[in-house]
Amino acid sequence: MTGRVKVSGSKNAALAILPAVLLASEKVSLSNVPDITDVRTMLRILEGLGVTIRRRGRNALDFYPSRLRGHALPYSLVQKMRASSYLMGALLARLGRATVPVPGGCDLGPRPIDQHLKGFAALGARCEIEHGLVKLEAEKLRGGHIYLDVVSVGATVNLMLAAAAAEGRTVLENAAKEPEIVDLANFLNAMGAVIKGAGTDVIKIEGVKRFGGAVHAVIPDRIEAGTFMLAAAATGGDLVIGEVIPKHMEAVTAKLREMGAEVEVAPEQIRVRRKGPLLSSDVKTFPYPGFPTDLQPLAMVLLTAAEGTSVITENIFEGRFRHVDELKKMGAQIKIEGRTAVINGGGTLSGAPVTVTDLRAGAALLVAGLMAKGETILSQAEHIYRGYEKIEEKFSSLGAYVKPLRERSSEEVAREPL
Ligand code: UD1
């Protein structure tokens, strides 16, 4: 694969910012919003709650959230994705109550929300889980001191949302430091919130009574950028990946260099190429700025091409090895023991029919298909559209052969929301 590719806006930042729109009392204009199915699902949820949405272009939207209709969310939409849990914090902030089905999302093993609920309780909300619904209510949210037991992106987002509208000061300790948290804080601050320390592990929030509107551009997607960086190395290609924030990519850049790929970093782009053999390596996933768990399946695919033994340790989600059986169908030699995968690399993968089990596993199998001899057919590939915009177009423009087996009919396209 050779050529230049542009990264879309960040899925996880957009999925935190969209619920935050509910706090606004005036028009909000967002740009660089990725056109992916998770974002469309969130837009449908916001519309269902009474937000008027106008599309200004593929990636630009205006929101008019002045009148909301309700606080309860439909199970059918919410169970599709994890980020719908952010509606708990956003609705609590805006209406003082929320009824949200216990959230779904990628099946990566147990994904508790105890830290979210513990935080809401510290801000004065009553929480109950009944018949698969999380019910939250607060006459008045009050700032509090919260120490998260685990570093959780979701809990950090939810508690920032609720605390932004609480009376007084909230201190959130052991907070997640992901760039998407910083982007959400910047957006909330643009609407009038007072949030300091986002990007460090202590976030301080002074609650405010009223939020205005805002104009905001979503940051680039570091996981999509990492997908192309790892794909370039995996296929022995030469890619220039544009619209990235190189600082967000440091863990991936360092790992690729260690494995023998050349990585050139410029202010807003990264070039990755590989001419020589790949070297085996060990990868351990950690919260940001560590190596992201969302790129672990792709790192595994890359390591199948590195001569010798490599070890991956998955520290974030214990169930995140469901791609391994599929990679084995393609000839990969991988053994799992608990949170560790041992990869005996150096062989050539062979194309096979495989099943996509979750979003990032899908991206990994797609790249494995590009490395393999022969044809690979991905079933349940729709998982990939949850998080990657124009994925076939982008890979095809780099010289790869990636085609949907069935094009969507014009009726199906017309029925798609927004
Ligand atoms: C978010 C991202 C996901 C990414 C993950 C880790 C979104 C929409 N999703 O998921 O792409 O893979 O961060 O970077 O942004 N935990 C608890 N109790 C809780 C909450 C979390 O024990 O109340 C645990 C989880 O089981 C997991 C760890 O904390 O082991 C991290 O999870 P968390 O950061 O919350 O992930 P998500 O926000 O679900």
Q: pLDDT-derived band of residue 106, with 50, 70 and 90 as boundaries?
A: low
Q: For 252-268, what is the mean pLDDT?
A: 97
Closest CA to ligand 1's atom 29: 152
Phi, psi torsion values for 200, nearest 5 degrees: -115, 180
Tell me how far CA of residue 286 lies from CA of 25, 78, 108, 150, 227, in angstroms.
37, 27, 15, 12, 17
Range list of H helices, 243-295: 250-258
Residues 293 and 169 in one domain: no
Half-sphere exposure of residue 407, counting CA atoms within 13 Å on the CB side? Answer: 3
Residues 15 and 91 in one domain: yes
Residues 155 and 287 in one domain: no
Tell me the C-alpha distance between 377 and 390, whole Å. Answer: 18
Neighbour tally for 110: CB within 10 Å = 8
Residue 397 belongs to some domain of the structure: yes
The model's pLDDT over 215-241, given as tens digits with 9 standing for 90+, comes to 999 999 999 999 999 999 999 999 999
- What percentage of the chain reaches a pLDDT higher than 70? 95
Residues 6+ apart with CB under 8 A from 46: 18, 19, 21, 22, 53, 63, 65
How many domains are contained in the chain?
2
Residue 148 belongs to some domain of the structure: yes
The closest alpha carbon to 255, from 220, 287, 223, 292, belongs to 292
In ligand 1, the atom with minimum distance to the C-alpha of 293 is: 12
Residues 34 and 148 in one domain: yes
pTM of the model: 0.95
Residues 142 and 57 in one domain: yes
- Domain end (from 217, 238, 254): 217
List the beta bridge partners of residue 340.
313, 337
Closest CA to ligand 1's atom 37: 154
Q: pLDDT-derived band of residue 319, with 50, 70 and 90 as boundaries?
A: confident
Residues 30 and 120 in one domain: yes
Residues 63 and 14 in one domain: yes
**DSSP code of residue 85:** G
The structure tokens listed for 256 are 């690729």
List the beta bridge partners of residue 265.
270
Q: pLDDT-derived band of residue 104, with 50, 70 and 90 as boundaries?
A: low
Residue of 102 and 398 predicted with greater confidence? 398
The structure tokens listed for 12 are 């996880």
Residues 167 and 247 in one domain: no
The structure tokens listed for 98 are 């929320």
Burial (CB count <10 Å: 0-12, 13-18, 19+), residue 149: exposed
Residue 418 belongs to some domain of the structure: no
Tell me the C-alpha distance between 109 and 121, whole Å. Answer: 25
Residues 108 and 255 in one domain: no
Phi, psi torsion values for 356, nearest 5 degrees: -85, 125
Residue 249 belongs to some domain of the structure: yes
Catalytic residue among 106, 184, 283, 402: 106
In ligand 1, the atom with minimum distance to the C-alpha of 109 is: 26
CA 112 to ligand 1 center in whole angstroms: 9
Q: For 154-159, what is the mean pLDDT?
A: 97
Residue 72 belongs to some domain of the structure: yes
CA 154 to ligand 1 center in whole angstroms: 6
Residues 110 and 208 in one domain: yes
CA 29 to ligand 1 center in whole angstroms: 28
CA 152 to ligand 1 center in whole angstroms: 5
Q: pLDDT-derived band of residue 413, with 50, 70 and 90 as boundaries?
A: low
- pLDDT recorded at residue 83: 79
- For helices 153-164 and 114-122, give the axis angle rounded to 10 degrees: 20
- pLDDT recorded at residue 66: 84
Closest CA to ligand 1's atom 21: 152
CA 353 to ligand 1 center in whole angstroms: 30
- Domain end (from 217, 251, 266): 217
Residues 203 and 248 in one domain: no
Q: With 70 as the cut, is the pLDDT of residue 417 above it? A: no
Q: What domain range is 343 assigned to?
A: 222-410
> Ligand 1, residues 147, 150, 295: which to mutate, most atoms within 8 A of Cβ?
150
- pLDDT recorded at residue 411: 65
Q: Pocket residues for ligand 1 (CB within 6 Å)? A: 12, 15, 82-83, 111-116, 150, 152-155, 176, 293-294, 316-317
In ligand 1, the atom with minimum distance to the C-alpha of 113 is: 23
CB 370 within 8 A of CB 234: yes
Closest CA to ligand 1's atom 22: 112
Active site residue 127: no
Residue 171 belongs to some domain of the structure: yes
Q: With 80 as the cut, is the pLDDT of residue 82 above it? A: no
Q: With 70 as the cut, is the pLDDT of residue 188 above it? A: yes
Q: Which residue has the tokens 């700032």?
A: 143
Tell me the C-alpha distance between 121 and 4, whole Å. Answer: 48
- pLDDT recorded at residue 409: 62
The structure tokens listed for 229 are 């960086």
Q: With 90 as the cut, is the pLDDT of residue 72 above it? A: no
The structure tokens listed for 230 are 């790892």
Residue 358 belongs to some domain of the structure: yes
By DSSP bridging, strand 269-273 and strand 262-265 are antiparallel
The structure tokens listed for 42 are 């969130």
- Domain end (from 202, 217, 232): 217
Q: pLDDT-derived band of residue 408, with 50, 70 and 90 as boundaries?
A: low
Closest CA to ligand 1's atom 4: 294
Q: With 60 as the cut, is the pLDDT of residue 256 above it? A: yes
Q: With 60 as the cut, is the pLDDT of residue 105 above it? A: no
Q: For 128-147, what is the mean pLDDT?
A: 93
CATH code: domain of residue 270: 3.65.10.10
Q: For 36-44, what is the mean pLDDT?
A: 93
Q: For 10-17, what is the mean pLDDT?
A: 98
Residues 305 and 399 in one domain: yes
Element (H, E) at 336: strand 333-337
CA 180 to ligand 1 center in whole angstroms: 13
Residue 4 belongs to some domain of the structure: no
CB 192 within 8 A of CB 20: no
Tell me the C-alpha distance between 349 and 366, whole Å. Answer: 12
Q: For 195-221, what is the mean pLDDT?
A: 98
